[in-house]
Chain A
Amino acid sequence: DIQMTQSPSFLSASVGDRVTLSCKASQNINKYLAWYQQKLGEAPKLLIYNANSLQTGIPSRFSGSGSGTDFTLTISSLQPEDVATYFCLQHNSWPLTFGSGTKLEIK
């Protein structure tokens, strides 16, 4: 199984900060990585697919990059509504696996 490692597990940043979240795969997953945002008590929401494609309706301050084993989700200017846990998903091969998440809070 492909292991997905997210870092950091917890991040506290200020409004307006540029924030970078990391997701590393235990083996090559090409570009087949998605990022999800989950707010407290809600279902996850798709932000980014195929490593760098922004889902329709998602603010442009969110962006994704990477390929192979190393991937990054960047929020260019953190907003209060971005408080959430962020998960990555590899869909390169079965079984599909998620990272353990990064919890993002406002300082």
Chain B
Amino acid sequence: EVQLVESGGGLVQPGRSLKLSCVASGFTFNNYWMTWIRQAPGKGLEWVASITNTGGSTYYPDSVKGRFTISRDNAKSTLYLQMNSLRSEDTATYYCTRRIRGYFDYWGQGVMVTVSS
């Protein structure tokens, strides 16, 4: 059974940093691209970052480029999201997802990040 379990969320002040983790199980982690997607409270879904199966390439929308860094440790089947210079508009539930042929077939339960003073 595919499982994605996020951790590392919480309350953080504007301008500070936070690192999210996602532990994957039930599939061969290093065969798949992985992606973070977020959802602000009561809002829609926003793609945040993607990484190739080897970690050799990463992709970001302009809204987080230069502030967020996606990475992975294939030996630990773990995906990361380093978030720097956090803003109030980064407040959201962050989902770890498995990417297959462009779309996302499995999602974690999500982890909440609140940016507030």
Partner-B contacts on A (CB < 8 A): 32, 34, 36, 43-46, 49-50, 55, 87, 89, 91-92, 94-101
| Residues on B with beta carbons closer than 8 Å to the beta carbon of A96 | 47, 50
Which residues of the partner chain B approach A50 to less than 8 Å between Cβ atoms?
101, 103
A44 adjacent to B45 (CB under 8 Å):
yes
- Cβ of A23 to closest chain B Cβ, rounded Å: 12
Q: Which of B61, B102, B107 touches A44 (beta carbons < 8 Å)?
A: B107
Q: Which residues of B contact A100 (CB under 8 A)?
A: 44
Contacts of A36 in B (CB 8 A): 45
Residues from chain A with a CB closer than 8 A to the CB of B104 are 34, 46, 89
A69 to B62 CA separation, bound complex (whole angstroms): 24
Residues of B within 8 A of A (CB): 44-47, 50, 59, 61-62, 95, 101-110
| Chain A positions within 8 Å of B46 at CB level | 98
Q: With A32-B102, A89-B103, A91-B102 known to touch, is A97 a contact of B110 (CB < 8 Å)?
A: no
| Interface pair B44/A101, CB less than 8 Å apart | yes
5 smallest A-B Cβ distances: which pairs?
A91-B102, A34-B103, A43-B107, A96-B47, A98-B45
Given contacts A94-B59, A95-B61, contact A87 B45 (CB under 8 A): yes
**B37 shortest CB reach to chain A, Å:** 8
Q: Measured between C-beta atoms, what is the minimum distance from B92 to chain A in Å?
A: 13
7 contacts between A and B (CB under 8 A): A43-B95, A43-B110, A46-B104, A89-B103, A92-B102, A98-B44, A98-B45
Residues of A within 8 A of B47 (CB): 95-98
Docked Cα-Cα span, A36 to B61, in Å, equals 21
Most B CB atoms within 10 A — which of A44, A95, A96?
A96
Residue of A nearest to B45 (CB): A98
Q: What is the CA–CA distance of A99 and B45 in the complex, to the nearest angstrom?
A: 8
Q: Residues of B contacting A94 with CB < 8 Å?
A: 59
Name the residue among B44, B61, B106, B109 with the largest chain A CB count within 10 angstroms. Answer: B44
Interfacial chain A residues near B59, Cβ < 8 Å: 94-95
With A43-B95, A97-B47, A99-B44 known to touch, is A91 a contact of B109 (CB < 8 Å)?
A: no
